[in-house]
Amino acid sequence: MNQSWSTCVSGKLTKKSFSSKDKRVLKKNQILLAINYAGPIQVTSREGYTGMVNIVVEPFHLDMVYPLREKSSHSQLTAVKDSNAPSYRVAVVKFDNTAKYMSGEFAAFYEKNDIIQEFSPPYSPQQNGKVERVNRVTVVMGRSMVIGANFPTAYWAEAFVCAAYVRNRCPTKVFDGKTPMGAFPGKEHDISNLHVFGCKELVPKKHHTKLGSKTCNGIFIGYAADGAYLVYIPRRGTGDIVTTRMKRERKLP
H or E element, residue 200: strand 200-204
Share of the chain above pLDDT 90, in %: 26
Cα 140 from chain centre: 12
Radius of gyration of the chain (CA): 22
225, 192, 182: which is closest to 82 by C-alpha? 225
Mean pLDDT of 165-186: 85
Q: What is the pLDDT of residues 66-81, one digit of tens each?
A: 999 988 878 888 888 8
Q: What is the pLDDT of residues 197-245, one digit of tens each?
A: 999 888 887 777 777 788 888 889 999 877 789 998 887 556 677 887 7
Q: Is 240 helix (H, G, I), strand (E, B) or coil?
A: strand
Distance CA 179, CA 222 (A): 19
73, 54, 79: which is closest to 64 by C-alpha? 54
55, 38, 47, 242: which is closest to 157 by C-alpha? 47
Mean pLDDT of 90-103: 75
160 in Cβ contact with 139 (< 8 Å): yes
